[in-house]
Amino acid sequence: MKKKALIISLNGTKLLKMEKILLSKEKPWGVILFKRNLKSRKQIKNLTTNIRNLTNDTKFPIIIDEEGEKVSRLRNIINHDISASFFGNLFKKNKDFCSKTYQEYIFSLSKILNELGININTIPVLDVIRKNTNKVIGNRSFSNNIKTVKQLGKLTLKYLHKKKIAGVIKHIPGHGAATVDSHKKLPKVKLHLKKLNQIDFYPFKLSNAKLAMTAHILYTKIDNRNSATHSKKIIKKIIRKKIGFKGILISDDISMKALKYDLITNATKSIEAGCNLVLYCAGRTTDNFKLIKSLPYIDKFTSKKTSEFYKFLR
């Protein structure tokens, strides 16, 4: 499958002339949508239809970050003002009732995404909350209980997959111990491998997720020079081996300030470290073009996993 190792983002609610050229000629792996791209149900359907017509690909990956409450790109269209921690608390009180309620919630959300032409949602958040976890995660986490996080993560994927929506587990190998916001600065986590393995890595293990998103975090006791997104050691030895993730690994947004280089270097280092795809979220057309010209086509592994994703959508 001939696609570039890049997920692009768009400028507004309608495709610009250069974005049409980008989609039709340059072969990005997928597109991620943000609030700036979403105005009404009709407009979104038109946008996703146009994207797929231009790419000549009825299953072209169109992604959204639709968690609820804090992170809701569709806030103006479906105000599901509910957090992951709500379900974590409910799970603590009554597992069976929570599972059934959560299923209805995910099914309802997935139905809307299907109608809008979106086939990937970047949930579940599998970060384990701590007392000092930065508020950028906060109630986006299910719980401080590793088993609760893991179980609700498994249910999220199960319910999404039933409705032909792929989930993205994040932020692998775990953002919960970070005390600063990676959108603004590089978080440094000084916990030893044993503690990280017991808590942060646990919910990600043996996941059947088709996709995962990295954490822009410096785990100083594992690699004191590179954030997870840029660390061959963390991707190969921790994410792939110790955690055992077997799907497509996506970098978190390379325009976040946690990454210290320019966009092209951030992107290149992500691929060299072992990320399969680069995510770019700022929506600047010139940057999309620079990135897509600089990045390689997806490798055999990613091509195989992408084909599996397309079969899953049937």
> Is the C-alpha dihedral spanning 71, 34, 203, 266 positive or negative?
negative
> Is the C-alpha dihedral spanning 195, 197, 202, 204 positive or negative?
positive
pLDDT tens per residue across span 109-120: 999 999 999 999
Mean pLDDT of the chain: 97
pLDDT at residue 26 in the model: 96
pLDDT at residue 1 in the model: 80
pLDDT at residue 244 in the model: 97
pLDDT tens per residue across span 203-254: 999 899 999 999 999 999 999 999 999 999 999 999 999 999 999 999 999 9
Residue 76: is its pLDDT beyond 90? Answer: no
Residue 258: is its pLDDT beyond 90? Answer: yes
Percent of all residues in the chain with a pLDDT value above 90, rounded to a whole number: 97
pLDDT at residue 211 in the model: 98
pLDDT at residue 282 in the model: 97
Percent of all residues in the chain with a pLDDT value above 70, rounded to a whole number: 100
Cα distances (Å, whole numbers) of residue 112 to 59, 62, 123, 296: 17, 14, 15, 34
pLDDT at residue 79 in the model: 81
Residues 54, 20: Cα–Cα separation, whole Å: 7
Arithmetic mean of pLDDT, 121-137: 96
SS3 string of 19-76?
Answer: HHHHHHHCCEEEEEECHHHCCCHHHHHHHHHHHHHHHCCCCCCEEECEEECCEECCCC
pLDDT tens per residue across span 130-163: 999 999 999 999 999 999 999 999 999 999 999 9
